[in-house]
Structure 1
Amino acid sequence: MECLLQKTEMKLLSTWLVLLIVNQAISILKTEEVTWHPTYHLAPPKGWINDPNGLIYHNGCYHAFFQYNPENNKEGTKYWGHARSYDMLNWEYLPIALSPSLEDDINGIFSGSAVNIHGKLVLIYTGVSDNFNKQRQMVAISSDDVNFEKRGVVIIKDKDESNFRDPKAWFQNGSWWVVMGSQTTDKLGEVLLYSSNDFFNWTYQGVLAGGNESLGYMWECPDFFTINGKQILVVSPQGIKQDGFNYQNLYQTGYFVGDWEPGKNYTIKKGFTEIDHGHDFYASQSFLAPDGRRIQISWLDMWESVFAENVTGWSGMFTIPREISLTDSGDLLSKPIREILEKRNQNTDIFDTIISSNQMLTLNNSVFSSEILIEFNFLNSSCQAIQLFLKEEPTIDEGVVLYVDFELNRLFMERYYPKYGLDKSNRSVAIDLSLSKLSLDIFVDSSSIEVFVNDGVAVMSSRIYPNNNQRKFSVAPVNGYVNISLISYDIVVKNQ
């Protein structure tokens, strides 16, 4: 009884603290000017979104479906929202595609994928029922790419159905295939494989890949595709413990590289590797553009984190669509889609200068919907570190700092927004500072920052919550001087 009372007291205290933070945020928003809804990232006009679903190019349009709660700006019963675009940056929001309505999806519409079958847009998704204890795979078909007719359950897992979700389907060698996120009986993550001749009758083909205790207790949102003759398996494990600079978020998204063909086992050649090293990146999904590029989009958020924007009526957003490729050594490269080049308006001259530790270069006083290209020339530099600030002033603690550490050979991203409940924390990625140059392609939107390092060798993505007067971008070396060249653009996109 004493333990129960303690738990009750802790729960009441936790609820009180959340309410306090929310009330403080509302009070601050009433007195300080903030604009957080993104301009060139997909986010809901209102309500909540999380995982991207059903990404596909179909009938001349890019379609993005997403986990959606239209009635509340917090997580709740899931629907599938729907948007389409001609360039993956300007999005038109369409009516809700899927709503809970059948016995097998009455508790929610969880993640899934989309395919083209005889010219029709077909969705395969996880229907949830029995208080989330039943997770079954279901199909819906559209004749107009907007309205969908449900066709019911097509895959049921034997025995435990409580962790069996997120089907990703594709066509290969005359058959349909689908991978499923799952959990073993001894609570380890795994990906299951099924095949079908008609997309409605599926045969279990076995475990495609499985983890161990070091790789978490559940694997969500699998994605499986081929690049350069290698098969890439992307998963989002839950329950990986932090290991030094790795796995610092609550959950991760990463990839394996291996060999597979129908009828054979998946042979892994490169072990699990994180895709993005920022605070907010989860549930990646990919698809093929009509020109053959593999495009990846992720949820630019993290479970059980602060969603300060929900006091303004919406929560959640997606990353910039990224073109992904594979190096000869098996490393995944991520670059912003080239369509974004057409949205640039140059807003600064090109700076090419040397700055010393008693100087600071301010590029822009209002980095809002922007791209900043920076290159450091180490052949003409001598310093211990380089700091880049997105703040009201560099001397003020609140805001974002990017920090190139020459001793640790790492790029750090630190953010701090205490009045909105975000404590000071950093994420980092290893960088090769033996090279003569370091290039950073930095995208700042209303409430996000994405940093592409050395043409996509590494990426860091995080949510940020600056007031409108906290958007000054400055650069300064530490204990020495640095040769820097940079240029800034406005990104002009208008979502409907």
Structure 2
Amino acid sequence: MNHIKETLQKEIKAKQPNLVEKVATDPWRLHFHQQPPTGWLNDPNGVYQKDGLYHLYYQYSPLDPTGGVKYWGHKTSTDLVHFKEEEIFLYPDQTFDKDGVYSGSAFEKDGVTHFFYTGNVKHPGTHDYITSGREHNTVHMTSQDGFHIDSREVVIDSSEYPDGFTQHIRDPKILEKDGLFYMVLGGRTSEDKGAILLYVSKDLSTWEYKGNLLEERHDLGYMWECPDFFELNGQDILLMSPQGVEQSGHEFENVYQSGSIIGRTDWDTLKFEPTDGFVELDRGFDFYAPQTFLDEQGRRILWGWMGLPDIEPEYSNPTIERGWQHAMTLPRELAIEEGKLKQRPLPEYQLLRKEVQHKSMELTEAIEMIKETSDTYEMIVEVVQPTKSLKVKLSQDVILEFNGEVFTLKLGTSGFGRSKRTIELSELTSIHLFLDTSSLEIFLNDGEYVLTTRLYPTSQLNSIEFSGDTSVQISKWDLEKA
């Protein structure tokens, strides 16, 4: 153990127990979502499954709920529902990552897990840390068991990136195809345009720059973070989180977005050719930096950070004062159907269901109700006349409303500034939602659209209210607290 790691461990050991006690008393703690034990959580890093065990690594600042220097936290699970918090996996304890072990990914090959991440270094002095003063080194790390680091090396030094870019190049993700390994990195050009840098390797250690996988999309902002590149149902999918996209109608309402592009790759020229536009993955208030992996069942599963950078002053998270901030979304299975990328909650979460409530309603001007008996529940609303209006009120002041043309998510004071998000929609066939104390995930039309938000209620309605011009069939389960 080196001196830097030893010093960091001693500080956490001395300060974290008091913070644990403070966090444990917070009634807004989640019960079946993954959250930090204390402090700050953001991007999922290096998610994978090996020998039946799922590993979730995540950006973590154990002592600072507002961020600070980043570590990699670590959780494991055998069922993707119940998780064990493991020891911190990765510390910023090397000269090439001393100011934070930033986001990255995992790739398993021949029994060895290869991790790639961005080592952050900030130089003292007067810098903007975009064009000067920063190193973003691409680091390769190996582990046999996912708990201990066997080797670590810088494979692309910050000085080796191509000309024409700022110092913002980060977030490596790996794809293997036809015996070669491809790495995508998110980048910001010197002209403040986003780009996806592509590297190729035969051995995961020596990497050669092959140009930009995707560029010249000036409508997609100035920086493309957290790229993910994979094949699904015979098509190539590129995920990324662009910064600087302007709102357009009901789209791109957040300060930053995360989305997908479906296309095909010319593996001779190494260019990704979109067959569709950039589509947001989540239309709620709190979603960013998604990462996918292929599990041992062959499912493409996505995790997202249930948060967003730079949200203030529009909205905020009051848990900061209670010693923690942020969580992961539920893991979602991806599928391409009818040319669209759909996201669905995993069936594993049915393990948490208690006794079901079923009810059919013919809605008129009168308000119909079912009991809201818990602050952790799952509800499915099947809509019989999908072009008719529907309004659902739940929790303290959350409203889900469809007027025949637009679906709206509205929050009151429990949103702490989160007000309204909208989706243009020709029909509403179903609403599938998960409420977990201070989070809400809504899947519309069998996963065609998703909205994720944090909310911080101080009271409950005691009933869920339905009104509109349609008929609905409702199934509702209170959920065990995993």
TM-score w.r.t. structure 1 length? 0.85
- Hey, what does 1:476 align to over in structure 2? 466
- Hey, what does 2:362 align to over in structure 1? 354
Q: 1:347: Cα distance to partner?
A: 4.2
Return the letter of the residue paired with 2:319. Answer: E
Is the partner of 2:276 in helix, strand or coil?
strand
- Hey, what does 1:445 align to over in structure 2? 436
One of 182, 188, 191 as aligned partner of 1:186: 191
- Hey, what does 1:428 align to over in structure 2? 422
Q: Which segment drifts farther, 241-250 or 359-368?
A: 359-368
Percent of aligned pairs with the same residue? 32
- 2:112 paired with 1:120: yes
Query: 1:74, 1:176 → 2: CA distance?
Result: 36
Superposition pairs of residues 191-270 of structure 1, within 5 angstroms: 191-264=196-269, 265-270=271-276
One of 411, 415, 424 as aligned partner of 1:415: 411
Alpha carbons of 1:285 and 1:473: their partners in 2 closer, same or farther (altered >3 Å)? farther
- Hey, what does 2:140 align to over in structure 1? 139
Query: 2:116, 2:381 → 1: CA distance?
Result: 42
- 2:318 paired with 1:311: no
- Hey, what does 2:473 align to over in structure 1? 485
- Hey, what does 1:368 align to over in structure 2? 375
- Hey, what does 1:395 align to over in structure 2? none
Query: 1:424, 1:451 → 2: CA distance?
Result: 15
Q: 1:213: Cα distance to partner?
A: 3.2
Superposition pairs of residues 333-352 of structure 1, within 5 angstroms: 333-348=342-357, 350-352=358-360
- 2:41 paired with 1:45: no
Query: 1:92, 1:351 → 2: CA distance?
Result: 37
Query: 2:89, 2:267 → 1: CA distance?
Result: 32
Indicate conservation of the 8 Å contact 2:371/2:464, yes or no. yes
- Hey, what does 2:69 align to over in structure 1? 77
Return the letter of the residue paired with 1:313. Answer: G
Alpha carbons of 1:284 and 1:211: their partners in 2 closer, same or farther (altered >3 Å)? farther
Query: 1:492, 1:212 → 2: CA distance?
Result: 45
Query: 1:96, 1:283 → 2: CA distance?
Result: 21
- Hey, what does 2:398 align to over in structure 1? 400
Query: 1:471, 1:39 → 2: CA distance?
Result: 20
Query: 2:107, 2:26 → 1: CA distance?
Result: 40
Indicate conservation of the 8 Å contact 1:80/1:109, yes or no. yes
- Hey, what does 1:89 align to over in structure 2? 81
One of 366, 381, 385 as aligned partner of 1:378: 385
Q: 1:368: Cα distance to partner?
A: 1.4
- Hey, what does 1:18 align to over in structure 2? none
- Provide structure 1 residue ranges, at least 5 long, that are not aligned to the other structure: 1-28, 393-398
- Provide structure 2 residue ranges, at least 5 long, that are not aligned to the other structure: 1-21, 124-128
- Hey, what does 1:390 align to over in structure 2? 394
Give CA-to-partner distance per residue, 1:55-104, whole Å, 9 cap, x none.
11112211111110011111111111111111112111111111111111
Indicate conservation of the 8 Å contact 1:253/1:281, yes or no. yes
Give CA-to-partner distance per residue, 1:330-373, whole Å, 9 cap, x none.
2110100111122211242x10121321x222222334111001
Query: 1:251, 1:211 → 2: CA distance?
Result: 19
Query: 2:461, 2:327 → 1: CA distance?
Result: 20
- Hey, what does 1:320 align to over in structure 2? 330
- Hey, what does 2:15 align to over in structure 1? none
- Hey, what does 1:65 align to over in structure 2? 57
Q: Work out the number of aligned pairs and report it.
A: 441
Query: 1:473, 1:194 → 2: CA distance?
Result: 54
Return the letter of the residue paired with 2:326. Answer: G
- Hey, what does 2:285 align to over in structure 1? 279
Give CA-to-partner distance per residue, 1:218-265, whole Å, 9 cap, x none.
000000011121100001000111111110101000111111153332
Give CA-to-partner distance per residue, 1:168-222, whole Å, 9 cap, x none.
0122111111100001120100001111111111011110001433210000000
